[in-house]
Chains A and B, each alone.
Chain A
Amino acid sequence: MVKNKKSFFVGSPYYIWMIIFIVVPMLMVAYYSFTDIDGNFTLENIKNLSEYADTFVLSIFLGAVATLICLIIAYPLAFMISRSKASTQKMMIMLVMLPMWMNLLLRTYSWMTIIEDTGIINSLLSKIGIGPFHMINTAGAVVLGMVYNFLPYMILPLYSAMTKIDKNVLEAAEDLGANMFQRVFKVIFPLSVPGVVSGITMVFVPSVSTFYISQKLGGTGYTLIGDVIDTQFLNSGRNMGATLSLVLMVLILLCMLLMNQFASNEEEAMLV
């Protein structure tokens, strides 16, 4: 008993920190959502949410498209890396991680200089007499920014799930006459589901909630939920901003719960 007390004591500074700086701030978001600027209880913010329905739909749609594209690009890549020599694997994973350490703002800014109306692509094209093409401030540009910035977050979990797939299992499938498609869909994919699930959440969450990428690459036409929250707080619309954050948080936690449910069902199915 004495021993347990002591170890509780060791952790207690963190428990206090956790309550003050994780739990209480969450309650603060809820508190500001249900009050007006003078601190009186109100449901006005919740009622006003319908004004932002389109923004939510657009954010979720663009985030989902970006996540899907990341999955399509990353899946074969992760598989190829996981099947190459140990030294190549190490090298490739380094190369995938390196851009992640460049600040997101700089990576996004770089795309801005590339696809602007007077940007690098258009100035190169004009030399051979084509263009100019309008690329920036489109939905495609926003999705491009999301895919580029968050692609490594998809590749890494997929890769780590795939390195765990035993080579013998693939050989056994081949020996037993499974063709390439059967091997991909009946063996590799089911075994890589945990990686797919964590990859999807790691790309979808920052994509849906981004505000810098959409500001820089989407202009004023593609305002996402993150931009709205940002402007609410800049213009002292603190309570509405808190409400939107609350909804965003609940939406994302629900998505993750659903994904995890799906993943554990899949694992159980594998055991049967």
Chain B
Amino acid sequence: MRGISKAYMVLVMVFLYAPIAVLIFFSFNAGNSTSVFTGFSLQWYKELFQDEETLSALYNTLVVALLSSGISTVLGTAAAVGINKLNKWMKNVVMNITNLPMMNPDIVTGISMMLLFVFAGSILGSDDVLGFGTLLIAHITFNLPYVILSVLPKLRQLDSHLVEAAEDLGCPANKTFFKVVLPNIMSGVITGFMMAFTLSIDDFVISYFVSGPSFQTLPLRIYSMTKRVVRPSINALSTLIFVSILVLLIVINVLQAKDEKKAERRRRAAK
């Protein structure tokens, strides 16, 4: 039984990783085929680093991801604080609307926002409203629910006596928030930010509809690269993306393990 279960796990992992391994393998191909290997070369990496369109798309992606996740974290945390205090009926209404972008297919979210922008543009008498601004608004909008949903449970766990104690001791509301509430919900805020950041970097469908021809992010660049005859430079790009994700994950894991060890040592010392 144990053997079968191990074999099955390995099998599924092979299915999940084989296509990624294939992508990486052919990024080192000397020829320009993505399926017949003719020898080792790094030429596709060289081509990639000379491709200014891809490099600027990467830069755009990072700018949009940082801005949108930062803004949605601030806006979403404030929203969670407000929502937490609403009465049951209002809370239900707000949460149902908040869940909409997560439940709706991406294509519908993208199109609905595009229609809004185009409509607003036609009122303002402008034909090309779509660009950096609309993309940023769209990213903030689809990030917000994830921030709110990761902060809200932390607020619910927060002991309301702590806040009352701070207020009774004459702490002004702002200070209470930053000194008492925020430190207690910080883990939720950070989770929300990270989720927002990764979602923003990865998004293709919504960006495709709201960005217009003038502003390109990396997924949009990949889309236009795979529309034409594909060259292995896209494999080189995949390899670099995969390696950076892998490194990031390992770093996060090592840091977490270190934190856990520290906490463990402290617990033992306390005993």
Which residues between 103 and 128 of chain A lie within 8 Å of chain B, taking CB atoms? Answer: 103-107, 109-114, 116, 118-120, 123
Is the Cβ of B19 less than 8 Å from the Cβ of A107?
yes
Q: Does B31 contact A (CB under 8 A)?
A: no
Is the Cβ of A95 less than 8 Å from the Cβ of B16?
yes
Is the Cβ of B111 less than 8 Å from the Cβ of A245?
yes
Majority SS of interface residues in chain A? helix
CA distance A252 to B105 in the complex (A): 8
Contact partners of B108 in chain A: CB under 8 A: 29, 209, 245, 248-249
Say which residue of B5, B81, B109 sits within 8 Å of A10 (CB atoms): B81
Q: Does B192 contact A (CB under 8 A)?
A: no
Q: Does B169 contact A (CB under 8 A)?
A: no
Contact with A along B226-249 (1 / 0, CB 8 A): 100010001001100110011001
Contact partners of A29 in chain B: CB under 8 A: 108, 111-112, 115
Majority SS of interface residues in chain B? helix
CA distance A94 to B84 in the complex (A): 32
Is the Cβ of A245 less than 8 Å from the Cβ of B112?
yes
How many residues in B have their beta carbons less than 8 Å from beta carbons of A?
74
| Closest A residue by C-beta to B85 | A7
Contact with B along A1-44 (1 / 0, CB 8 A): 00010111111111101101111111011011000000000000
Contact with A along B78-112 (1 / 0, CB 8 A): 11011111100000001001101101111111011
Contact partners of A92 in chain B: CB under 8 A: 9
Say which residue of A11, A94, A112 sits within 8 Å of B82 (CB atoms): A11
Q: List 6 A-B contacts (CB under 8 A).
A: A11-B86, A18-B98, A73-B12, A94-B253, A120-B22, A205-B105
Contact partners of A76 in chain B: CB under 8 A: 5, 8
Is the Cβ of A241 less than 8 Å from the Cβ of B22?
no
Q: Does B60 contact A (CB under 8 A)?
A: no
Binding site for A on B (CB under 8 A): 5, 8-9, 12-13, 15-20, 22-23, 26, 34-36, 75-76, 78-79, 81-86, 94, 97-98, 100-101, 103-109, 111-116, 118-119, 137-138, 140-141, 144, 148, 173, 198, 202, 204-205, 209, 218-219, 222-223, 226, 230, 234, 237-238, 241-242, 245-246, 249, 253
Q: Does A81 contact B (CB under 8 A)?
A: yes
Contacts A7-B85, A206-B105 hold; do A102 and B245 have CB atoms under 8 A apart? yes
Closest 6 CB pairs of A and B: A11-B82, A14-B79, A209-B105, A25-B112, A7-B85, A110-B19
Is the Cβ of B35 less than 8 Å from the Cβ of A116?
yes
Other CB < 8 Å A-B pairs besides A10-B81, A241-B111, A253-B104, 12 of them?
A4-B85, A13-B78, A21-B113, A21-B138, A102-B245, A106-B23, A109-B222, A109-B230, A113-B35, A211-B205, A216-B226, A238-B118
Contact partners of A230 in chain B: CB under 8 A: 107
Is the Cβ of A109 less than 8 Å from the Cβ of B234?
yes
Binding site for B on A (CB under 8 A): 4, 6-15, 17-18, 20-26, 28-29, 31-32, 73, 76-77, 80-81, 84, 92, 94-96, 98-99, 101-107, 109-114, 116, 118-120, 123, 148, 151-152, 205-206, 208-209, 211-212, 216, 226, 229-230, 233, 238, 241-242, 245, 248-249, 252-253, 256
